[in-house]
Structure 1
Amino acid sequence: MSEPPTPLDDLLGQLDLEPIEQDIFRGTTGRPTLVPRVFGGQVAAQALVAAGRTVPDDRVAHSLHSYFLRPGDPEVPIVYTVDRIRDGRSFATRRVVAVQHGQPIFHLSASFQTYEEGLEHQEPMPPAPDPVTLPTAAEMLPRHAGLLGGPDIVELILKARGAVDLRYVDEPPFASMGEPREPRSQVWFRTNGKLADDPLLHLCLATYVSDMTLLDSVLLAHGRGGWAVGDVVGASLDHAMWFHRPFRADEWLLYDQESPTSQGGRGLARGRIFTQDGRLAVSVIQEGVVRVPRG
């Protein structure tokens, strides 16, 4: 008897887009969710898969810039159309539009480069505890079941994030409601299982995870618990990433996040992803809707 698929198997299946015409792909949804929309990190990761499948194998994504236009419907597939904007000697540029119900829900531009040597420096990795000393989500979340709405909600969150081992360095926003903190948060993450060596796959998994916790730092500044406890309404607006150095998403990565500002119903957050040996692998910036519900 074959083993049932793991959550990581399910996620990898969602990232294995179906080609339906030249430069047109179809992706499934199916991630458990507490809100009636597709998780933004999934759409961004699938769009990067679509773009990457239209460039030569020797070119690797070095940046992406994207906008979330409409909520994705988790009940129907998403169609990704790729425009081959430019193919140069070193760089290739792709534009991807994700469509559901005849309307664009997401737009991504990505640039790919052939590897070359160059000047190199980076910021140092900030201090952080060893990830194996931190509680897993399965250990941490049940302690806050009362805040989150009960064991059933905890189980749904664990299923939604089952493909990823994500560990908070400090308490997450919902565990410190009413207590404003420095607008900075850290998590360690890696996939719950080994991945193939395809570099694009590791970039796409990091893209998927990068949308999970980035706005936490905005919430911490105001002592807000977030969407999980209903004291703010939030959604990603735009998302940009720069991939600096090779990494593996199935090995521990430190996601260091901070928020320089929030205003006008929007919050800005920036993140840096480091490998466990201190290499700066990815930079991330996102702006999102962060609204306080009107009573």
Structure 2
Amino acid sequence: MKPLGEDVFQGPAVPTAFTRTFGGQVVAQALRAALLTVEGKDAHSLHCYFLEGGVAAEPIDFHVERIRDGRSFAARRVEGFQNGKRMVIMSVSFHHDQDSGPEHATSMPDVPGPEESIDHVEFRPQSAKKRALDWTDWDIRVVPNEKLSEELLHPAGQATHQYLWIKNTSDMGNDQGSHQAALAYLSDMTLLYTTLLDHDNPDIQAASLDHAMWFLRPVRVDEWLLIDQYSPSAGSGIGLSKGNVYNQRGELVVVLSQEGLIRAKRTS
């Protein structure tokens, strides 16, 4: 991120075969800009709204507003601009790691590991497969449905679940903020398409509308993570997806939520 002034940063353009900016890039860069204004605390939640599509070949300017700096928590508001248009708004909350209290977490599903899973590209809609060329530093594998019980595919009558193992193959270092931003980038790769799992590849217009993340425990993206993704609802051209992220020790480290446009393409 390039500093442009007090609490203003420029996110660089990322090489891609696409003309529109990838939503995960916007989330990751907005989070990174906020992180650069906070000391001694890591992000514990973010809420992001996409307002305008971006041009992938051009950088994005991020303006950070310091909402609050307390002993335990800090809050930031980030706005991203490109060519004078506001692309994104994000609220981020930060928390130090000194507090303690009651603990519990949802258990990790007992699914086959990454060595028994296969490349996620085989399961993505044809229209999205080209995007995989942008993700060469990510190893993303889907647990095949035939290796899952009905209870895992449709627990308690819920919509279909999709289980993905993901890992970044580059040298990520130990900075927690970098791992959080990297996971923010990845989290936009597959969530929206979860809403289409029970449908026969409809001809739709897809786009991310909003995105939320809760960082519950320290996370490393250069180690295998399991994402349990499912879609509670789809209707009126909008799909909602959820995701629980676990490390290989079975700890729930992040919870994801995203709404996206999945509108049938208009014929006239």
TM-score, normalising length: structure 2:
0.89
Q: CA deviation at 1:272?
A: 0.5
CA distance in 1, matches of 2:234, 2:74: 34
Quick one: distance in 2 between partners of 1:48 and 1:252? 22
Residue aligning to 1:49? 32
Residue type at the aligned position of 2:142:
Y
- Give the one of 170, 180, 185 matched to 2:144: 170
| Structure-1 residue corresponding to 2:95 | 113
Equivalent residue of 1:282, what SS?
strand
Q: Using the alignment, how far apart are the partners of 1:107 and 1:204 within structure 2?
A: 16
2:190 counterpart SS class: coil
Tell whether the 8 Å contact from 1:23 to 1:82 is kept in structure 2 after alignment.
yes
Structure 1 position 122 matched with structure 2 position 111: no
Deviation at 1:170, TM superposition (A): 2.7
Residue 84 in structure 1 maps to residue 66 in structure 2: yes
Q: In 1, distance between residues paired with 2:15 and 2:228?
A: 25
Alignment match, 2:260: 288
* Equivalent residue, structure 2, for 1:94: 76
C-alpha distance in structure 2 between counterparts of 1:281 and 1:93, whole Å? 21
Q: Normalized per residue, which structure has more strand?
A: 2
Q: Aligned equivalents of 2:81 and 2:226: distance in 1?
A: 33
Q: SS of the residue aligned with 1:277? A: coil
Is residue 2:160 matched to residue 1:183?
yes
Give yes or no for contact 2:159–2:232 (8 Å, CA) kept in 1.
no
- Tell me the number of residue pairs that the alignment of Structure 1 and Structure 2 aligns: 254
1:255 pairs with 2:233 = no
Instruction: Work out whether residues 31 and 39 of structure 1, in 8 Å CA contact, stay in contact via their aligned partners in 2.
Output: no
Structure 2: which 5+ residue stretches go unaligned?
Answer: 146-157
Displacement after TM superposition at 1:168 (Å): 1.2
- Using the TM superposition, give the Cα deviation of residue 159 of structure 1 relative to its aligned residue in structure 2, in angstroms: 2.1
The structural deviation recorded for 1:47 is 0.4
CA offsets per residue over residues 106-131 of structure 1, 9 Å max, x none? 11100001112121000110122110
Structure 2 residue aligned with 1:148:
126
From 11, 36, 39, the counterpart of 1:27: 11
Within 2, Cα distance between the matches of 1:190 and 1:64? 22
Contact 1:31 1:38 in 2 (8 A): no
- Which structure 1 residue ranges, 4+ long, deviate > 3 Å from structure 2? none
Alignment of 1:2-21 (within 5 A): 17-21=1-5
Superposed displacement of residue 79, structure 1: 0.2
1:203 aligns to what?
180
Look up the match of 1:75: 57
Contact 2:117 2:144 in 1 (8 A): no
1:22-54: CA deviations, max 9, x gaps? 1000011224244x3100001000000000000
Could you tell me which residue of structure 2 aligns to residue 3 of structure 1? none
Q: Give the % identical residues.
A: 41
Q: Output one character per residue of 1:61-86: Cα deviation in whole Å (capped at 9) or x when no partner.
A: 00000100000111211000000000
2:134 maps to which of 160, 166, 174:
160
The AA in structure 2 aligned to 1:193 is S
Residue 66 of structure 1 is aligned with which of 48, 54, 65?
48
User: Alignment partner for residue 217 of structure 1, among 194, 216, 234?
Assistant: 194
Matching of residue 270 in structure 1 with residue 242 in structure 2: yes
- The 2-side partners of 1:162 and 1:81 are apart by 30
Q: Is the 8 A contact 1:215 1:269 kept in 2?
A: yes
2:180 partner SS:
helix
| Matched residue, 1:14 | none
Q: Tell me, in whole angstroms, the C-alpha distance in 2 between the residues paired with 1:170 and 1:236.
A: 25
Deviation at 1:221, TM superposition (A): 2.1
CA distance, structure 1, for counterparts of residue 52 and residue 218 of structure 2: 32
The answer for the alignment partner of 1:8 in structure 2 is none
